[in-house]
């Protein structure tokens, strides 16, 4: 749909517009209005080059596309009935919980194993543990591939699937070699299209579920969905959206909580949503309220930083990890809110 700056296009302008869309196999249908005309594009209007060429004409104000730019992630795509099953649990059929340390401390692997057992007991379905960490400061602990062994040990003793964040191809290789059950793409790589495409290709056969966090700089909803499209269009349909708060922060919180984006995501796409209240609010005392809000907004699950003794943890754990007791109550309450929705 082309909206011109003036109420109508001149004959010459219309011919020019028709020539541009014609190059992409489309036609123009003029809709005559009382005060202005609208120029509908008939055909597949998803070409970005076509839209950019139209926007380059100085008499064109806007081009609105009726069809979404993401073909596979669209709520109306053939994948709309696709279901993601992790550790025997279908995400979205019941509330889905991921919990564990922000960061696995190589000096204290015992704490991680204790947390893993405790979050299992609290009702978590997947254990999280940061092996490599994207840190704002290069002087902060960056993680270590050595802690992958600890993550795998937690999987072995609990029998639960595990998730780890990967930030590059080398880490992806290690994670795939270790047969990590779920991969996380953090907010800093949310728009790293080469990495997203690479992950889509490399996990195409295995179908390893990928938790894709939202870009932290207030990434628009369509940008978030298009990032997921990179993974899916490269062969792996098992993508889960993870809102985790955006910048600038709401004063007092680590980020601006964005659990409210879920109904929009659900309206536009079919993929499940697992919200991350820990990074969104960034303080353990706020996590339970944000978690319940996320479920009320329609999230299919939560990923929550949890630690048996947060104060002794590293990375984000001292400030934002909750204890397994708090997690247990939170899961119980989340199930109640879930029940109100269904
Ligand atoms: C994390 O999950 O610990 C993390 C670094 O997440 P984010 O990418 O959302 O900051
Ligand atoms: Mn963290």
Q: What is the pLDDT of residue 201?
A: 97
Q: What is the pLDDT of residue 70?
A: 87
Mean pLDDT for 119-148 is: 96
Nearest-atom index, ligand 1, CA of 316: 3
pTM of the model: 0.92
The answer to whether 268 and 241 are in contact (CB under 8 A) is no
Residue 13 domain-assigned (yes or no): yes
Nearest-atom index, ligand 1, CA of 185: 8
Q: What is the pLDDT of residue 65?
A: 85
Pocket test for ligand 1, best of 99, 147, 219, 244 (most atoms within 8 A of CB): 244
> Same structural domain for residues 192 and 293?
yes
Residue 70 domain-assigned (yes or no): no
Given a cut of 90, is residue 280 above it in pLDDT? yes
Chain Cα centroid distance, residue 231: 11
Q: What is the pLDDT of residue 219?
A: 80
Given a cut of 90, is residue 31 above it in pLDDT? no
> Same structural domain for residues 219 and 273?
yes
Given a cut of 90, is residue 151 above it in pLDDT? yes
Residue 118 domain-assigned (yes or no): yes
* CA 142 – CA 165 distance, rounded (Å): 12
Given a cut of 90, is residue 188 above it in pLDDT? yes
Q: Which residues line ligand 1 (CB under 6 A)?
A: 102, 130, 134, 186-188, 213, 244, 276, 279, 316
Residue 223 domain-assigned (yes or no): yes
pLDDT band at 163 (very low <50, low <70, confident <90, very high): very high
Residue 72 domain-assigned (yes or no): no
Counting the structural domains of the chain, the total is 2
Give 314 Cα–ligand 1 centroid separation in angstroms: 13
Given a cut of 90, is residue 166 above it in pLDDT? yes
Domain end point (choices 63, 94, 113): 63
> Same structural domain for residues 152 and 244?
yes
Residue range(s) defining the domain that contains residue 51: 2-63
Q: What is the pLDDT of residue 66?
A: 80
Q: What are the tens digits of pLDDT across the range 134-147?
A: 999 999 999 999 99
Domain end point (choices 35, 63, 91): 63
Given a cut of 90, is residue 24 above it in pLDDT? yes
Q: What is the pLDDT of residue 68?
A: 81
- What does the block give as tokens for 227? 């990032």
Residue 235 domain-assigned (yes or no): yes
Given a cut of 90, is residue 342 above it in pLDDT? no
Q: What is the pLDDT of residue 71?
A: 87
Q: What is the pLDDT of residue 105?
A: 98
Mean pLDDT for 324-338 is: 98
* CA 214 – CA 264 distance, rounded (Å): 14
Q: What are the tens digits of pLDDT across the range 46-68?
A: 899 999 999 999 999 999 988 78
pLDDT band at 290 (very low <50, low <70, confident <90, very high): very high
Q: What is the DSSP letter of 63?
A: E
In the structure, ligand 2 is a single-atom ion and the residues with CB under 5 Å from it are 102, 316
> Same structural domain for residues 16 and 125?
no
CATH number (domain holding residue 51): 3.30.70
Tell me the pLDDT of the chain averaged across its residues. 96
> Same structural domain for residues 333 and 241?
yes
> Same structural domain for residues 101 and 189?
yes
CATH number (domain holding residue 119): 3.20.20.70
Q: What is the pLDDT of residue 69?
A: 79
> Same structural domain for residues 147 and 15?
no
Are β-strands 89-90 and 182-185 bridged in parallel, bridged antiparallel, or unpaired? Answer: unpaired
Given a cut of 90, is residue 185 above it in pLDDT? yes
Nearest-atom index, ligand 1, CA of 315: 3
> Same structural domain for residues 197 and 260?
yes
> Same structural domain for residues 101 and 217?
yes
> Same structural domain for residues 58 and 82?
no
Nearest to 176 by CA among 154, 204, 157, 197: 204
């Amino acid at each position: 749909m082309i909206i011109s700056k003036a109420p109508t296009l001149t004959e010459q302008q219309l011919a020019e517009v028709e020539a541009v869309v014609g190059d992409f196999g489309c036609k123009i249908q003029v809709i005559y209005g009382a005060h202005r005309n609208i120029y509908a594009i008939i055909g597949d209007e998803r070409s970005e080059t076509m839209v950019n060429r139209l926007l380059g004409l100085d008499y064109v104000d806007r081009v609105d596309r009726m069809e979404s730019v993401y073909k596979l992630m669209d709520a109306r795509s053939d994948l709309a009935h696709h279901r993601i099953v992790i550790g025997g649990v279908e995400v979205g059929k019941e509330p889905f919980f991921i919990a564990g340390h922000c960061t696995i401390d190589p000096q204290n692997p015992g704490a991680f194993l204790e947390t893993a057992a405790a979050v299992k007991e609290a009702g978590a379905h997947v254990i999280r543990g940061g092996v490599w960490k994207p840190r704002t400061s290069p002087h902060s602990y960056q993680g270590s591939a050595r802690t992958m062994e600890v993550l795998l040990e937690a999987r072995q003793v609990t029998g639960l699937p595990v998730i780890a964040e990967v930030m590059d191809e080398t880490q992806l290789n290690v994670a795939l070699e270790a047969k990590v059950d779920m991969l996380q793409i953090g907010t800093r790589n949310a728009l790293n299209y080469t990495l997203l495409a690479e992950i889509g290709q490399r996990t195409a056969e295995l179908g390893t579920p990928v938790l894709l966090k939202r870009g932290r700089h207030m990434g628009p909803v369509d940008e978030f969905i298009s990032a997921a499209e990179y993974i899916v269009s490269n062969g792996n349909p098992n993508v889960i959206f993870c809102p985790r708060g955006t910048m600038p922060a709401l004063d007092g919180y680590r980020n601006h909580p964005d659990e409210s984006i879920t109904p929009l995501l659900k309206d536009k796409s079919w993929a499940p949503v697992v919200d991350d209240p820990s990074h969104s609010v960034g303080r353990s005392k706020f996590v339970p309220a944000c978690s319940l809000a996320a479920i009320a907004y329609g999230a299919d699950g939560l990923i929550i930083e949890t630690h048996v003794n947060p104060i002794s943890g590293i990375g984000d754990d001292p400030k934002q990890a909750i204890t397994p007791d708090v997690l247990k109550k939170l899961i119980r309450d989340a199930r109640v809110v879930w029940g109100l929705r269904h």
